[in-house]
Structures are given as C-alpha cells and as structure tokens.
Structure 1
C-alpha cells in the first residue's frame, strides 16, 4: 500500500521539508522590521483563525476534554512546551543564523526520544543510540569555526542564540512527550487548535500587531508566508504520513537542515544584505551531514 502511494507521499514530504527549510530564513528577514514576539503572535493568530474556522465548520472539535480530569495537567504542559518552543525559536534568530539554528534544533527529536525512554519506559535500539552518538559528534564539527569564541565568551550574542535554540529544543521535546499522552485519548487537532488559541491570547499583551502597518511589500509577503507556513506544512506532513511509510517521511524531513544551509548560501550570495550566512568550511559540512544522519538513525532506527 505504501509503495503504491510514494507518488503522493514523496511530493508532500518534500513540500513540508521545503517550507520548514524556508521558515527561519523568512523569519530572519522579517524580525529586522518586526519584533520576534509579534511575529510569533501573528503565526498563532493566523493558525487559530483559519484552522479553527475549518474544524469548527466540520464540527470536528472537542476541546472540553483537554481541560478537565487527568488530561488537564498534560494539556497545560504540552501547550506551555510548544508556546515556549515558538518564542525561543523566534527570539534565538535574533542572534544566530538560520542554518545554524536548523542544525542545532535537531536536538529536539533526540531529546523527545530520551524523554520517552525515561518517562514512558520506551527502549532505544542500537541504531538509535548510534544516531544519538552521531549528533553529538556532528554538532561540534559543524560549529568548529565558532567553538573558540563560544568557549571564551567572545561572541556573547551568538552564545545567547545557541542557548535559546537549545531551550526551543527542550520545550519542543516536552510538548512532544505530553502530546503522546494526549493523542491516545483525544484527536491531534483538538490540542493544536487549543495551542493556537492559547498562543494568540498569551502573546497578545506583549506584541504589537499594529507594527504590521509599517511593513513594506516584502515584509507583508514574509508575514503572510510565515502565517500560512504552519498550516500548509503541517497539513502536507499529515497527508504524507497517511500516504507513505513514516520512516520514509522522516528520512525526507531529515534533509531540512541541509536545505536551509543551501538556500541560505544561495540567497546570501544573491542578496547579501538580506541575511547573514553561517561561515562554513568542509568540516562544518561534514558535521551538518553527520547531524542529519544521526537524527535520521535515531528517528527511524526502531521502525527499521
């Protein structure tokens, strides 16, 4: 069944990967004109508006069950985790390049696997442990040109960015851990809509939506893209998982960091004033590929 649907699953998985690869590049271009909190608020608001309207029209939402009984603490932790992930991810981009962010955020699925072993009693296969080891080897290789200044604290802003992205990885893993518990008793869209609504309400008091009025045409294009990105990417991802083997979808999505690095290099060479490109040597590329391979092994090791 899965092989017969690869013509559907592969394009959908590639669509998701491409959109996720472009996400930090587009956001980096916008946060120079709009603060990261406001950008994050618009992403939640757009997702809440359109996804909420869609599921409500189909009468396919049951949010009440998430807010009572034993699901309530899981819901609070899952919502808090993803909100923390969004804001730390966006704020980290103020200090770090999109390519470095995408490589470093690969810690998120690894942390989810480790949390699942500790708190859910799941087991690692040998290939999954090998994947964790490859990520641990690949990260210092990728950052080899910055290790000295990071260790000596010469570039404090970049170090802050690295710290924020690590926080984004940890909070995403917290979300993923409790999302696993919730979806066993509730449909995934219920949690996502609740997260979109919560993000809209939580970030509104500290955001400035009126700043969008001062954006130029490029800024509006980036804002619309970022607002739509979550809905389109996750929609394509869900359909890809339904049409293709999960291991093959994961293998395709593991290419996201390399795609971001490549797109950043192309955009940086054609439009150097738009984004800062991460300085890379051949060791950095070996490190990035090692991280990708490790993340892939850790994600699909058990299934294989």
Structure 2
C-alpha cells in the first residue's frame, strides 16, 4: 500500500476516534476499555506475527517496550482520562500541537540549534493550547468546568507521550515489520492497564454496556488498534515522521463532523481562537519544519 494513502486512512479513523471513545467511556471504565481493546487486538494479530517473527536485538526490544509504555500505556491512559472530563472535539486540536512539542523536546533535550521563527511558532501554539485548556474556567468557574480544564490538560499530557511514541517507533524504521511492532507495543501497553482494571471491576458490570458501548469497543479494537495504529507503524517505516505528522491536521475537522451530531458538542469562540493559534504557530514554525531531529536520537541509546 502507498504509505501516504495508509496515513490518510489512519488519520480519518483517528479523527473519528475521540467522539466514539467518549461515547464508550460513558458505559465502560477507561482502563477496562483500554485493556480489552489492546489485549484483544494483540490476540487477533499474534497468529500473523508468530510465524514471521524477526529476532530482535536488546536495543530494539527496549525501543518497542518504551513505545508501548509511552504510546499505549501513558498516551491512551491520559487520553481516556481526559476524554471523560472534556469535549472530544478539543482532543484532535490539542494533539495537532505534536510538531511544536517535538521542537521543544529537540530544543531543550536534544540540543537542537535555536531558531527564532520556530521558537515564536512554539510560543504561539502553546498559547493556543492554554486558551483551550483554560477556556472552561474563563467561561464558568463551576466544578464541571474545572473538570473540563483538567481534562484538556490531561489531553495535552497524552499528546506529549504520543510524540515520544513516534520517536521510538521511528528508531526502528526498516528493522521490524509493522505487525510485529504493533504486537509488542500492544501487549506492553495492555499490561500497563491491567493493574488498574481490578479496582474498576469492583464498581462495574458488563451488563451495563449497551449497543453504544459495544460499538465503541469494537471500533477501538478493529478500526483503531488493528487498523489505524498498524497503518501508522507501516507509514513510519516508509516515510519521514514529518510527512506522517502533516496529515494529523485532518483530525480536528473529522472529529467535529462526527462529535456534533453524535454527542451534541459544539465549538465555542475559545475553541476557534485556540485552534487558530495552534495552527498559526505550527504554520509559522513549519516554514522550515522538514527537519524532525530523529537523526539525533540514533546516538542517544
């Protein structure tokens, strides 16, 4: 498959994911939903991977485990906890700040050369994120709106771990097949959720799940975990991470088109202001953001 087609399909699925997962979280606790989703996906792809298993060096095992912990355990964990508390339409906008987070990591931790235009772009985009995060408190200081701000902040933390996931996967470019990457990442991520499911099981019963909850769970297993994640892992093996990230800007539009009729979520003025600042900052920085400092990671392990 053409890797660009793969990443377009993956991002359409990802755009739909936030509102559908929020719908599922009204009936299934976050860690139970996450564990079932990734454990089921692992079992489904395992037969296709075992027969074609490629031996892995210790360094590659470490990268895959780090990708699973950051990209599944921490990213999805914070993502679900954030979705429980805020509107699903803000999730893709916050996630779109990934390139700016990447520059911040490169600047402060990978000793990337300082670039004034990129720095201004980072500040503008972060201003957009803060506008979205703090908007509920500005609109209304109630407990509900405090929870929305906390949810927005959790989504931002999830985005940071999502960027780290891409770092680790890109380090394996050309070494390991997409399905094998997905299997190890899914299993390690699912194990991160397992301890938290025991507490949730005490106050939850599968009998509470309606057709909406089952649809969200099955969508997460087949379309997101098996479909989108594997397509992203495939694309990261074929093209630059900057090219992969470029298509993430489709997600907010897709999410809005789904969340409005499905959940009744409507954007407010702060959503538009924050989105303009996020994408304006990215546009300013991306005058030269074809770099993505993955080459600097090669010597860091």
User: What SS class does the counterpart of residue 184 from structure 2 fall into?
Assistant: helix
Secondary structure of the corresponding residue to residue 89 of structure 2: helix
Q: CA shift at 1:40, angstroms? A: 0.7
Q: Say which of 64, 73, 78 aligns to 1:88.
A: 78
Residue-by-residue CA offset, 1:113-151 (whole Å, 9 max, x unaligned): 322333333346555334323312433555685352578
**Structure 1, 123-132 or 34-43: larger mean CA deviation:** 123-132
Determine if the alignment matches structure 1 residue 128 to structure 2 residue 121. Answer: no
- In the alignment, the residues of structure 1 paired with residue 177 and residue 122 of structure 2 have an alpha-carbon distance, to the nearest angstrom, of 28
CA distance in 1 between counterparts of 2:3 and 2:181 reads 25
Which of 183, 186, 196 lines up with 1:206 in the alignment? 196
**Aligned-partner Cα distance in 2 for 1:103–1:166:** 10
Deviations 1:228-263 (A, max 9, x none): 212211333355567777655433322212321232
8 A Cα contact 1:25 1:264, kept in partner? yes
Distance 1:244 1:177, change over 3 A: closer
Distance in 1, Cα, partners of 2:146 & 2:177: 39
Q: Corresponding residue for 1:262?
A: 257
Shift of residue 56, structure 1, vs aligned partner:
1.6
CA distance in structure 1 between the partners assigned to 2:165 and 2:288 by the alignment: 22
User: Equivalents in 2 of 1:95, 1:284: separation in Å?
Assistant: 16
Map Cα deviations across residues 201-227 of structure 1 (whole Å, 9 max, x no partner): 332343249944543333222211111
Unaligned runs of 5+ in 2: 292-301
Report SS of the residue matched to 1:183.
Answer: coil
Counterpart for residue 246 of structure 2 = 251
**Which one of 255, 271, 279 corresponds to residue 284 of structure 1?**
271
Is the CA contact (8 Å cut-off) linking 1:100 and 1:278 kept in structure 2? no
SS in 1 for 2:256: helix
Instruction: Check whether the contact 2:128–2:276 (CA below 8 A) recurs between aligned residues.
Output: yes
Q: Which residue, out of 30, 46, 49, partners 1:52?
A: 46
Contact 2:136 2:146 (C-alpha < 8 Å) held by counterparts: no
Once the two structures are superposed, the pairs formed by residues 1-304 of structure 1 within 5 Å of their partners are: 8=2, 11-60=5-54, 62-63=55-56, 65-66=58-59, 72=62, 77-82=66-71, 83-123=73-113, 128-142=118-132, 145-149=135-139, 155-179=145-169, 182-183=171-172, 187=176, 189=178, 192-207=182-197, 208=201, 211-212=205-206, 214-228=208-222, 229-238=224-233, 248-265=243-260, 267-268=261-262, 275=263, 277-281=265-269, 284-295=271-282, 298=285, 301-303=288-290
The number of aligned residues is 284
Partners in 1 of 2:159 and 2:33 — Cα distance? 19
Unaligned runs of 5+ in 1: 269-274
- In structure 2, C-alpha distance between the alignment counterparts of 1:139 and 1:301, rounded to whole Å: 22
Query: Relative to structure 1, is the Cα distance of residues 79 and 236 closer, same or farther in structure 2, using a 3 angstrom cutoff?
Result: closer
Question: Relative to structure 1, is the Cα distance of residues 131 and 88 closer, same or farther in structure 2, using a 3 angstrom cutoff?
Answer: same
3-state SS of paired residue (1:122): coil
C-alpha distance in 1, partners of 2:74/2:188? 12
Calculate the TM-score normalised by the size of structure 2.
Answer: 0.76
| Partner residue, 2:299 | none
Output the TM-score relative to the length of structure 1.
Answer: 0.75
Structure 1 position 26, deviation (Å): 0.8
CA gap 1:45/1:94 in 2 versus in 1, 3 angstroms: same
Q: For residues 140 and 55 of structure 1, what CA distance do their matches in structure 2 show?
A: 42
> 1:203/1:103 Cα in 2 relative to 1: closer, same or farther (>3 Å)?
same
Q: Distance in 2 between matches of 1:46 and 1:10?
A: 27
CA distance in 2, matches of 1:212, 1:295: 43
